[in-house]
């Protein structure tokens, strides 16, 4: 993280970084506001150019479901477009940890996680990375 003397509150300045050559980067996020849920993803290439986006209204969902759905839909998009090297980045420690096998997920996202694993299995290389909220790059 970089701290700036120009930032009066001295909040960390976090910036998006492109994926390695030959990869696409999938940033995903879910959000809840006023009992309404949403999910979104953005896919960028190694030059940082946006090559795909998606946003979904998920009435009645909780945050873990929204995060999982955002990732699932992003991977479905990547599979449809034929990309096979992907860097996945999101701010949900639960979702990333569940995919890495370090966290036991709650029952309500098991099916979605199975779908995520299936979509990911179509890729030659999948890298999963947790990032802090301001860095994930999704605008929900």
For the chain, the domains span 24-135
* Structural element, H or E, at residue 116: helix 110-121
Mean pLDDT of 35-59: 94
**Residue tagged 């879910």 (tokens):** 30
- Collapse the DSSP code of 132 into the 3-class scheme (helix H, G, I; strand E, B; otherwise coil) and give the result: coil
More confident residue, 48 or 125: 48
Mean pLDDT of the chain: 83
The CATH-assigned architecture of domain 24-135 is 2-Layer Sandwich (3.30)
- Share in percent of the chain as helix, strand, coil (round to 5): 30, 30, 40
Strands of 24-33's sheet in order across: 50-57, 36-44, 24-33, 85-90, 125-130
Distances in Å between the alpha carbon of 35 and those of 51, 61, 65, 71, 87?
A: 31, 9, 13, 21, 31
pLDDT (0 to 100) of residue 111:
95
pTM of the entire predicted model: 0.81
């Amino acid at each position: 993280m970089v701290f700036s003397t120009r930032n009066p509150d001295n909040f960390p300045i976090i910036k998006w970084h492109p994926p390695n050559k030959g990869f696409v980067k999938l940033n995903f996020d879910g959000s809840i506001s006023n009992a309404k849920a949403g999910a979104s993803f953005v896919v960028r290439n190694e030059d940082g150019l946006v090559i795909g986006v998606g946003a979904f209204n998920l009435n009645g969902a909780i945050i873990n479901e929204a995060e999982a759905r955002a990732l699932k839909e992003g991977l479905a998009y990547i599979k449809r477009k034929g990309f096979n090297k992907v860097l996945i980045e999101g701010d949900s420690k639960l979702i990333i940890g569940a995919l890495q096998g370090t966290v036991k997920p709650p029952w309500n996202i098991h099916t979605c996680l199975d779908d995520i694993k299936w979509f990911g299995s179509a890729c030659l290389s999948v890298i999963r990375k947790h990032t802090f909220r301001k860095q994930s790059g999704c605008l929900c």
